[in-house]
Structure 1
Amino acid sequence: MSETACQGGRAARLAALHAAATDSPWTEADFADLLNTPGLLLLEEDAAFLAARTAADEAEILMLATHPSARRRGRARALLHRFHAEARTLGAARAFLEVAADNHPAAALYAAQGYREIGRRRAYYRRPAGPAVDAICLARGL
Structure 2
Amino acid sequence: MSATAFSYRPMAEDDLDWVLRHEPELYPFPWTRGNFEDSLSAGYSCWIMVEGELPIAYAVVMQIVDEAHLLNFSVVRSAQGRGVGAALLDFLRHALRQRGVNQFFLEVRPSNLAARAVYEKAGFVSIGRRKGYYPAENGREDALVMRVAP
TM-score by length of structure 1 reads 0.88
**Aligned counterparts of 1:132 and 1:111: Cα–Cα separation in 2:** 24
Please give the per-residue CA displacement for 1:56-103, whole angstroms capped at 9, x wherever unaligned: 111111111111122101111111000000000011011000001110
| Contact residue 15 and residue 31 of structure 1 kept, 8 A | no
1:53 corresponds in structure 2 to: 62
The number of aligned residues is 135
Q: Does 1:126 align with 2:130?
A: no
Structure 1 position 74 matched with structure 2 position 88: no
Partner of 2:7 in structure 1?
none
C-alpha separation in 1, matches of 2:77 and 2:63 = 28
Is 1:140 matched up with 2:145?
Answer: no
Partner of 1:96: 105
Residue number in structure 1 paired with 2:16: 11
Runs of 4+ in 1 over 4 A off after TM superposition: none
Equivalent pair of 1:58/1:95 in contact (CA under 8 Å): yes
Q: Equivalent residue of 1:124, what SS? A: strand
Structure 2 gap segments, 5+ residues each: 1-10, 50-54
Shift of 1:13: 2.1
Gaps of 5+ in 1: 1-5
User: SS of the residue aligned with 1:126?
Assistant: strand
TM-score by length of 2: 0.83
